[in-house]
Amino acid sequence: MNDVKSDLESGTGQRGLAETIIESTHQAVVVMDKHRRRVIYANPAFVTITGYTIDEITGKSLAHFRSERHNNAFYKQIWNSLEEKGQWSGEIWGRRKNGEEYPTLHTISPIFDSRFGRVRYYVSIFSDITAIKRQQSSLGDLAYQDPLTGLPNRLLLVDRLQHALRTHTRNNTQLAVMFLDLDNFKTINDTLGHAAGDQLLQAVAGRLQTILRTEDTVARLGGDEFVIVAESCPSRRGIIRIAEKALQTITEPLRIADQDVAVQASIGIAVFPDDGKDVDAILQAADQAMYQAKITEGSSYCFYTSRSKS
């Protein structure tokens, strides 16, 4: 500690310590001259992050390392901010030597010439935030995903259904929304336990995914409620085939908690645009049709516009 204190008490020691910190930090540090905006210094972290050597970047403009994600107006705004406010902070996408684009968090500040009291250089300090971006993306996925089954949740279902309705409105075509509810799920859950109930829901989710086409969506709303959005269904017969296939795959025997479990389901079907013009209306119609299907004993489906089908 005494050696450090001694160093700090002298200008030379302070400069030496500052150089050591800059050379050893994990943040990239780049110094540019103000007028030509050319690199006159870069620390080892810059080399590590970008893949360029010191010789390759010295004397080059930072435009050499730009990503194509930003236009000239973006960079002009940065320089204007530096002139007006004396500093700029924000996110910039850069480009490594291998061509890979990557996000960075930048702070750009002026370095004054003490003799003349004017800006002579700019120092840019930045961090590679690729890992943070990936984490944010992962969290974003979780916000739209049912944690138990991995299916889209209500939020993502509504988003996809809104998009589908707009598409089918433009094309003047129909789609089917199927509200599926497992029969006697509470009894199974209470008898075998919640862990077994979760396994059952996961198995049902997996089975429903196997019967759908690539353009279709199956989502879990919560509990034992699922919704299927079946696109490209021009005929009632085609809709019925999907509903019957869903019921058939669900009722196949399941082995849960070392026991054979018999599962049945009820499906309510609403067709856009006849049974609802928006997301709320079409989901409500399918939900009402599902309760009508519950009246029929055993696995069954029911169209909103009819009383019941089995």
- The tens digit of pLDDT for each residue in 210-266 reads 888 878 899 999 889 999 999 877 788 999 999 999 999 998 888 877 788 888 899
- pLDDT above 90: residue 283: yes
Using alpha carbons, select from 65, 58, 19, 60 the residue that is nearest to residue 42: 58
Give the chain's radius of gyration (CA, Å): 31
Domain boundaries, the chain: 2-135, 144-303
Which residues are catalytic, by number? Answer: 224
Q: What does 6-58 look like in DSSP terms, one character per residue?
A: HHHTSHHHHHHHHHHHHHH-SSEEEEEETTT-BEEEE-HHHHHHH---HHHHT
CATH class of 144-303: alpha beta
**3-class state of residue 94 by DSSP:** strand
Q: pLDDT (tens digit, 9 = 90+) per residue, 34-52?
A: 888 899 999 999 999 999 9
Q: Is the pTM of this model over 0.95?
A: no
Q: What average pLDDT does the chain have?
A: 85
Q: Please report how many Cα atoms fall inside a 13 Å half-sphere around the Cα of residue 147, on the Cβ side.
A: 5
Q: Which residues of 121-152 are buried (b: 16+ CB within 10 A; e: fewer)?
A: bbebbbbbeeeeeeeeeeeeeeeebbeebebb
The topology under which CATH files domain 2-135 is Beta-Lactamase (3.30.450)
Mean of pLDDT values over 75-102: 88
pLDDT of residue 297: 65
And the tokens for 159?
A: 């988003």
**252 near 204, Cβ under 8 Å?**
no
